[in-house]
Amino acid sequence: MAQVAGLSEGRFRHLFVAETGVAFRAYVLWARLTRALRLGFGGTSWTEAAHAANFADSAHLTRTCRRMMGITPTSLRLDQTVQAQRLLA
């Protein structure tokens, strides 16, 4: 991303945080998690969703989801009509 923007990596990270208030790595992880959850809620298996979003496996996806959201993907799916709609909006 820094190269595309024509910036050094350090300058890119600094500007990204200054403009968004979020570290670039955290943003990328959030985007991967969101992609995996959308696939999982769409009917894809959690393992396939994890791999499609570049997680090592479904356990890695589950740990990341629990750490970032405080709940597992399976628990989210069980109550997807309420909670997941809010999280992914």
- pLDDT tens-place string over residues 20-67: 999 999 999 999 999 999 999 888 999 999 999 999 999 999 999 999
pLDDT at position 87: 66
pLDDT at position 88: 66
pLDDT at position 41: 87
Fill in the amino acid letter for 67. Answer: R
CB 72 within 8 A of CB 62: yes
Whether the pLDDT of residue 86 is over 70: the answer is no
Whether the pLDDT of residue 16 is over 70: the answer is yes
User: What pTM does this model have?
Assistant: 0.79
- Cβ-proximal residues to 53 (8 Å cutoff; 6+ apart), any chain: 32, 33, 35, 36, 39, 61
Q: ∠74-49-31 over CA atoms, to 5°?
A: 95
Domain 26-88 architecture: Orthogonal Bundle (1.10)
